[in-house]
Amino acid sequence: MNAKKILRNAILAISLGWMGSASAMSPTPTPEGFDHYMVLMAAGVLDLAEPNPAPGVTGCAGLFCDGEFFQREIMGRDDAALAEFTAQAAAFFEDRFGVWVDDPALAGRISFGLFMTNPDWQYRMYTSSDSRTPAAGWPVRDGGYVLMVLDPDGIALGGEFEGSVAPAGSVMFYGNYNILIGKGASADELVMLFKSSRPAQIQADGSVSLLCELEHEQWGSGFAAVSVANVPLTDTLVQGVGRNVLTFPRYPVAR
pLDDT, tens digit, 9 for 90 and up, residues 39-69: 999 999 999 999 999 999 999 999 999 999 9
The pTM assigned to this predicted structure is: 0.87
- Reply yes or no on whether the pLDDT at 16 is more than 60: no
Q: Which residue has the higher pLDDT, 184 or 231?
A: 231
User: Beta strands 200-201 and 170-181: pairing type?
Assistant: antiparallel
d(CA 86, CA 80): 10
Which band of pLDDT confidence, cut at 50, 70 and 90, is reported for residue 132? confident
Q: For 74-115, what is each residue's pLDDT tens digit?
A: 999 999 999 999 999 999 999 999 999 999 999 999 999 999
**Mean pLDDT for the chain overall:** 90
Phi-psi map region of 2: left, alpha, beta (phi>0 left; psi -120 to 50 alpha): beta
For residue 18, what pLDDT is reported?
38
For residue 24, what pLDDT is reported?
44
Closest CA to 1 of 130, 101, 111: 130
- The SS3 call for residue 87 is helix
d(CA 177, CA 116): 10
Q: Are 178 and 188 in contact (CB under 8 A)?
A: no
Q: For 153-176, what is each residue's pLDDT tens digit?
A: 999 999 999 999 999 999 999 999
Q: Are 142 and 226 in contact (CB under 8 A)?
A: no
- Reply yes or no on whether the pLDDT at 140 is more than 50: yes
d(CA 248, CA 245): 10
d(CA 106, CA 90): 14
Q: Are 252 and 31 in contact (CB under 8 A)?
A: yes
